[in-house]
Chain A
Amino acid sequence: MKSDASRQGREIRIEGIEKCWGETTALSGVDITVPAGSFTALLGPSGCGKSTLLRIVAGLEAPSSGRVRIGGEDMTQRPADKRNLSMVFQSYALFPHLSVADNITFGLRTRRVAKAARQARLERVAALLGLGPYLERKPSELSGGQQQRVALGRAVISERPVCLMDEPLSNLDAKLRHAMRTELRALQRSLGFTMLYVTHDQVEAITMADQVVLINEGRVEQAAPPHALYETPATSFAARFIGTPPMNILPATALGEIGARAEAEAGCALHFGIRPEALRPDPMGMLKMHVTGGEYHGADALVMGRIGGTEALVRVPGKTLPSGGAPMSLAVAPQDIHLFNAATGQRLDRPISAAQALASNDMAQATTVPDLNQI
């Protein structure tokens, strides 16, 4: 299966999509551009509307307003089968009474592809996904991982420029999920289609996607490449959602005089965001934490405590877990301090010099390099 010109992905543009059911609004004013051939993940907590958005792109659901364009064409009114896309469902949606081969070639049959061509394509897909020995079996005779591959096979055999996936890995065990992440990514790269991928798992989104669209309560919080999402979260929600453990969000009041000065300079109430891995124990540090407990993880450890009465976490090397009840001084590099408007949750992009006072000078040069595998 080579990616020739006809197999190139197409751009998806989602313009001002709204979806309401009676009084409840599931999506409001969603604008997303998925570049052709890219892997875009729709990430968000459950119930945020990401699956609904995917179903609107698929044509299984109609938006209350807004447009869906695929490859420049307005698809909003087109039925699902005329949108030239394929889809993998969370439940796999395999036809239980059909064999693996019939499941995979279902779409080719409904589109009246000749038998010889069907067979040739089936063989290529089966070889690609390692399904050769199972073609005559029924889905119920396969393991979860194999069923998942059959669902993938049904999606890729149609050679569509766009593929939609709705949490395809959530029913697999952790080890298999890890292997499938790599495999899915490689598959998408080699076949060159545009992928729109729904997940609630930030690890999946961060490790696979070129672009992550973070959705919360039916709105786009941030659309950015994974590293930008981690390094410059646009809202305090994005800051808390990406990264494990989540970013510490400290109200300015917890930081005493520095906090008050920063708020005066910014002209609004502020939240300070500092990642647990950006905080370092340092006797000269400006932040004072009262340690309440610790969690040993092996390679590293998490120290729980309070900074100015607000719960906070610090990631330290595994061997240096401090005892509870002790005060701890912490240092942070200036570029690792994120400021958010406390009222709107939006990131403050202009520098607030008063906030930089939190960072001690000798730390200014040391940059925290986020280790993506640790997120």
Chain B
Amino acid sequence: MRADVLDALARHAATLDESGFDPRADVSVDAWAGLHADLAALGLEFSDITALDRIDAVELVCWLLSSPSEQLSVRTSCLNDRLLAPTLSDVYPPAEFGEREVYDLFGVVFEGHPDMSRILQPDDATTFPLRKSFELAETPW
């Protein structure tokens, strides 16, 4: 882990956990955009943004690359009654599509996103299929 990245994480009160496969940093939703702006300024590249359903909350997972071979996940948690997070699309342009997908499949709304609309499902869809509460219909066989 680079020292300047550690500094940035500490500045935003992120907890760093290096016991897993890749280092992960957990941060509060309020510090989400600020931390990413700092990390982008340090030259970290965006790889992917996605989410995990934690039943009572949705965990946002953003994978960043500190070098072509080193990856780091930054995570935050949005409780079910407030599925709202600041957008990263002004920091990382590709996150625009990634966040639309998270909205489409998990229902997390990103504040400040230029176009918060459905991306994979039809525009008139009403469900968020990757939530665990959404169950697939039984097949006839």
A interacts with B:
no
